[in-house]
Amino acid sequence: MRGVVRAGKALTLDGRIAAPSVTRQSMARMTGSPPPGPDKGHVEGMFNQPYAIPNYRVTGHLADLAVPIGVWRSVGNSFNGFFMESFVDEMAIAAGRDPLAFRLELAAAEHGPSAGVLRTVAEMSGWDSPRAPGTGLGVAMTHSFRTPTTVVIEVAERNGAIALTRAWMACDVGTALDPAIIEAQMVGGLVYGLSAAMMEEISFAGGVVEQGNFTDYDALRQHQMPEVAVRILETSGHIGGVGEPGTPPAAPALANAIFDMTGQRIRDLPLNKHLRFVG
């Protein structure tokens, strides 16, 4: 990731992605042959984000490894969302701007619903209000499956460890057919993304995966779960997805909140390699 900011404005974003292709591996297993042509899923969550940056380029480079991979919740948006929204945060700090205001200015010039979910979480979280000592707020916004979704996470310091205290989510689904299901899916996507960000790692030894069950591949527990509020908007002109868009903003919002509180910028996951989390 490379970027240029000048006079508080984002002028250039240049992203280069090197990773195996989930689409090609999955389709080859199902049909016997990989699909032809460019792999859009390889760069989703980065090449198509609604930010009005004048010089915006994302390139994908397929780098196959001898590891079988498959579809994970939100697919390419998952890891690309983490890198994209972490880097946008870094650009905001380099520009001397508030991270949410920086995003809102870029989104407002590109896509109204994306700007709307940013404004909504700003109001929900009291983003511009004074913050208690020893706390931090982080924001991330990802447009995936035709649904812009923004997450703000609050963290607090507790005896040298990190606690997730509160989270706010806003999504614009166009038409909310069942608001209760939408809220449940958004919270579920958040938990899925936070679990991966905080503690879930797959490692190999002797050509074999070391993690076999939840004893060594843990997930977020109830006592670690932040209090979550969800708001559903319906300004978009089409019905968007709800099962996956809650996952991509989770990890970067948490990492950005940790930076806000500690000044430590973490660029690799899981976060428990660097920090200790408590309930």
Position 65 scores a pLDDT of 85
Number of domains in the chain: 1
* Average pLDDT of the segment spanning 159-188: 97
Position 126 scores a pLDDT of 98
Assess contact for 153 and 254: CB atoms under 8 A. yes
pLDDT digit string (tens) for 209-219?
A: 999 998 899 99
Position 67 scores a pLDDT of 87
The CATH number of whichever domain residue 34 belongs to comes to 3.30.365.10
Position 4 scores a pLDDT of 98
Does residue 279 register a pLDDT over 80? no
Sign of the CA dihedral 1, 76, 233, 251? negative
pLDDT digit string (tens) for 132-166?
A: 999 999 999 999 999 999 999 999 999 999 999 99
Position 257 scores a pLDDT of 98
Integer Cα distance of 144 and 247 in angstroms:
10
Domain that holds residue 96: 2-278
pLDDT digit string (tens) for 8-25?
A: 999 999 999 999 999 999
Integer Cα distance of 158 and 138 in angstroms:
18
The mean pLDDT value of the chain amounts to: 96
Does residue 84 register a pLDDT over 90? yes
pLDDT band at 54 (very low <50, low <70, confident <90, very high): very high
* Average pLDDT of the segment spanning 242-250: 98
Packing angle, helices 76-94 and 99-108, rounded to 10: 110
The two beta strands, 227-233 and 161-172, are parallel
Q: Residues of the chain with pLDDT > 70: what percent?
A: 100
* Average pLDDT of the segment spanning 161-176: 98
Assess contact for 248 and 142: CB atoms under 8 A. yes
Cα-flanking dihedrals φ and ψ of residue 94, to 5°? Answer: -65, -30
Q: Which residues contact 222 (CB under 8 A, 6 or more apart)?
A: none
Q: Which two tokens stand for residue 25?
A: 């591996």
Position 66 scores a pLDDT of 83
pLDDT digit string (tens) for 87-122?
A: 999 999 999 999 999 999 999 999 999 999 999 999
Identify each DSSP E strand in 132-215 by its residue range.
135-144, 147-158, 161-172, 204-205, 208-209
H or E stretch at 269: none
Cα-flanking dihedrals φ and ψ of residue 217, to 5°? Answer: -140, 75
Q: Residue 121, CB half-sphere, CA atoms under 13 Å: how many?
A: 34
